[in-house]
């Protein structure tokens, strides 16, 4: 059973996936309470499936970009489980999780999360047997990001009121995906992690670090 943890922003998500079936998933607005909320939810998830910690065979975690505290909490728990139980660890970039939830399209995809103080973390994707990242992640603003769009584009992720106001002025140039598709879900993190595990790709708990972005 693979445990997937995403605590990169104020929205957190947890999933248990057995390689075939998504057995459990919960996504919630944690705010800044990741430290106090994540472990009780993990315990509740295992209890609901009548499993113990020994049932875990791998752990996946969102690597960032994201908030310093959120990423630190998720990575600390993921590393602790991997080291204590001797199970594989897989880190996945935060914006790749958003992209993985979207359906196939000929249009390019932009995935964004809030970075505070009017800034965004963003990445660009194109469909090549799945969404492949072609640029980013990078720090930007709504004004600069939207000004860079030169063709009809899909947009998903954390969009604030300022973003919606600016996007409305672009008409059909930008299509905002539905709220459900804009929410990061640990089920997709789990699927990405299983793909890496099947290819024999894992990360070293001793050296894996969060992905932080700094304004130039």
pLDDT averaged per 10 residues in sequence order, the chain, 216 residues: 97 97 97 94 97 96 95 96 97 98 97 93 96 97 96 97 94 95 97 98 96 78
Within this chain, domains 2-94+184-198 and 102-182 share the same CATH topology: yes
CATH number for the domain whose boundaries are 102-182: 3.30.420
CATH superfamily of 2-94+184-198: ATPase, nucleotide binding domain (3.30.420.40)
Q: Any idea where the domains of the chain sit in the sequence?
A: 2-94+184-198, 102-182
pLDDT at residue 118, rounded to an integer: 87
User: In angstroms, rounded to a whole number, what is the distance separating the alpha carbons of residues 196 and 214?
Assistant: 28
């Amino acid at each position: 059973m693979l445990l997937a943890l995403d605590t990169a922003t104020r929205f957190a998500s947890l999933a248990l996936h057995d390689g075939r079936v998504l057995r459990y998933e919960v996504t919630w607005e944690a705010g800044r309470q990741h430290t106090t909320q994540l472990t009780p939810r993990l315990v509740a998830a295992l209890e609901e499936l009548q499993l113990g910690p020994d049932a875990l065979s791998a752990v996946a975690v969102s690597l960032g970009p994201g908030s310093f505290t959120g990423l630190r909490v998720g990575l600390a728990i993921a590393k602790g489980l991997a080291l204590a139980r001797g199970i594989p660890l897989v880190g996945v970039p935060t914006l790749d999780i958003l992209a993985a939830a979207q359906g196939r399209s000929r249009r390019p995809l932009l995935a964004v999360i809030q970075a505070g103080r009017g800034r965004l973390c963003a990445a660009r994707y194109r469909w090549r047997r799945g969404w492949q990242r072609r640029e980013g992640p990078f720090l930007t603003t709504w004004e600069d990001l939207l000004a860079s769009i030169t063709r009809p584009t899909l947009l998903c992720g954390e969009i604030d009121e300022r973003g919606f106001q600016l996007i409305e002025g672009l008409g059909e140039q930008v299509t905002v995906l539905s709220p459900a598709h804009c929410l990061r879900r640990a089920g997709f993190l789990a699927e990405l992690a299983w793909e890496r595990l099947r290819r024999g790709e894992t990360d070293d708990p001793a050296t894996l670090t969060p992905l932080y972005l700094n304004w130039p």
